[in-house]
Amino acid sequence: MIKNILVPQDGSDYSSAALLYAIWLAKRFRARLKGLHVVDIVSLEGPFIRDISGSMGVEPYLNFSAKMREVLEAKGAEILTSFTESCGREGVECVEESAFGIIANEICEKARTADLIIMGRHGVNERFEHGLLGSVTEAVVRKSQRPVLVTPKTFKELKKPLLAYDGSPGAAKAMHSAAEFAKELGLPLTVISVSTPGSGADSIHDAKNYLKPYALNANYEQIPAPSGEAPAVIDKYYKENGHDLLFLGATHHSRLMELVLGSTAEHLMRAAAGPLFIER
């Protein structure tokens, strides 16, 4: 059961939408939110700031860095105050926390005492990020031992969740979370499994057996697809059937886990337009 939710906040539109999702879920799970703002050490000690300080003639560099940190910490305090005010208006219990370091690492560290991380697909540096997923969000998904709910830029109430199940350990965790969500929120759950040449076809059978005690309003579909086409098939099904939340597991790759999530998770993290609930 989800009782503690970590919500990283950076003042961006994506961050604001993530907070709306967090508040919506906190009300229904009777959970507490922790708003986290991280002052990025890279912004203070990276080569970019060294170049800027040199070109501005600011001496010594450490004084410039200290002043920059003061400015960033003050901005972070404003962001967290706004977070607390938003929670207060909605009657949601919350706490604030600030940190200093590498953003993704700090988020994962603070998540040790959380049941779920909710964060936007992009952050405040969206315009400078390449691809369809922010670098911080991607790093958190790769490193976190807790599930991550990656949210889009605008909030939408969750009504039609979809679980992509392939029998992997990550997918099994995602199935448990999907069942808890659907049960607690009173939502129907659709479960799909994509069978490719050479893969087993008993994933749906396993899912039915696991979910039976939950007494959910569930629909199951086994979808055949050519080898390597599973990510595109899942994405197409998600969009064509009006789903608004996708549960999936990241493939386990032992010590390579932080570098490789698996082709399905990688593709859907970038292609899916709505929220993704990712389990490792």
pLDDT digits (tens, 9 = 90+) for 24-77: 999 999 999 999 999 988 766 654 454 544 454 545 455 557 787 888 889 999
Instruction: Decide if 156 is inside a domain.
Output: no
Structure confidence by residue, pLDDT tens digits, 52-65 = 444 545 454 555 57
Which domain-ending residue is among 151, 181, 210?
A: 151
For residue 124, give every residue at least 6 positions away whose Cβ sits within 8 Å of its Cβ, in sequence order, or none.
Answer: 10, 11, 12, 15
Angle between helices 13-29 and 169-185 (to 10 degrees): 70
Q: Are 161 and 245 a contacting pair, CB within 8 Å?
A: yes
| pLDDT reported for residue 224 | 87
Q: What phi-psi label fits residue 35: left (phi over 0), alpha (psi between -120 and 50 degrees) or beta?
A: beta
**90 part of a folded domain:** yes
pLDDT digits (tens, 9 = 90+) for 135-173: 888 889 888 999 999 999 999 999 999 999 988 888 999
Q: Which residues pair with 8 in a beta bridge?
A: 36
Whether residues 189 and 252 fall in one domain: yes
pLDDT of res. 135: 81
**Is 73 found in the same domain as 53?**
yes
How many domains, in total, are found in the chain? 2
Q: Are residues 68 and 87 in the same domain?
A: yes
pLDDT at 168: 87
Same domain? 23 vs 144: yes
Split at pLDDT 50, 70, 90, the class of 123 is low
197 and 147 belong to one structural domain: no
The pLDDT, as a whole number, for residue 230 is: 81
CATH number at residue 87: 3.40.50.620
Query: Which pLDDT belongs to residue 138?
Result: 86
Q: What is each CA distance from 31 to 28, 88, 89, 117, in whole angstroms? A: 8, 14, 16, 13
Cis peptide preceding 226, ω within 30 of 0: no
Structure tokens, 121: 């697909």
pLDDT of residue 173: 94
Residue 118 lies in domain: 4-151
Q: Is residue 106 part of a domain?
A: yes
Same domain, 137 and 165: no
Q: How many residues does the chain have?
A: 280
Residue 256 has pLDDT above 50, yes or no: no
78 and 179, same domain (yes or no) = no
Q: Is the pLDDT of residue 235 over 60?
A: yes
pLDDT of residue 128: 42
CA-wise closest residue to 161 among 179, 137, 138: 179
What integer is the mean pLDDT of 104-129?
83
Instruction: Give the CA distances from residue 137 to residues 125, 147, 244, in Å, rounded to whole numbers and listed in that order.
Output: 12, 12, 19
Q: What pLDDT is attached to residue 254?
A: 37
Task: Look at residue 274 in the predicted model and tell me its pLDDT.
Answer: 84
pLDDT of residue 150: 94
- pLDDT at position 253 is 44
User: What's the pLDDT score for residue 62?
Assistant: 52
Q: Are residues 147 and 166 in the same domain?
A: no
Does any domain span residue 147? yes
Task: Find the mean pLDDT for residues 268-278.
Answer: 78
pLDDT band at 124 (very low <50, low <70, confident <90, very high): low
Of 151, 175, 205, which closes a domain?
Answer: 151
38 falls within a domain:
yes
pLDDT in tens, 7-24: 999 999 999 999 999 999
- Higher pLDDT pick, 4 / 143: 4
Sheet of strand 245-249, all strands in order from the earlier edge strand to the far edge: 94-101, 32-40, 4-8, 116-120, 148-151, 276-279, 245-249, 161-164, 189-195, 218-224
Based on the fold, state whether residues 17 and 127 are members of the same structural domain.
yes
Q: Are residues 135 and 237 in the same domain?
A: no
Name the residue with higher pLDDT: 264 or 252: 264
Q: Is the pLDDT of residue 126 over 50?
A: no
Asked if residue 63 is part of any domain, the answer here is: yes
Q: What integer pLDDT is reported at residue 13 of this predicted model? A: 94
Mean pLDDT (whole number) for 176-197 = 93
Same domain? For 231 and 165 the reply is: yes
Q: For the CA atoms of 230, 156, 38, 133, what is the dihedral angle to 10 degrees?
A: 30
Both 112 and 177 in one domain: the answer is: no
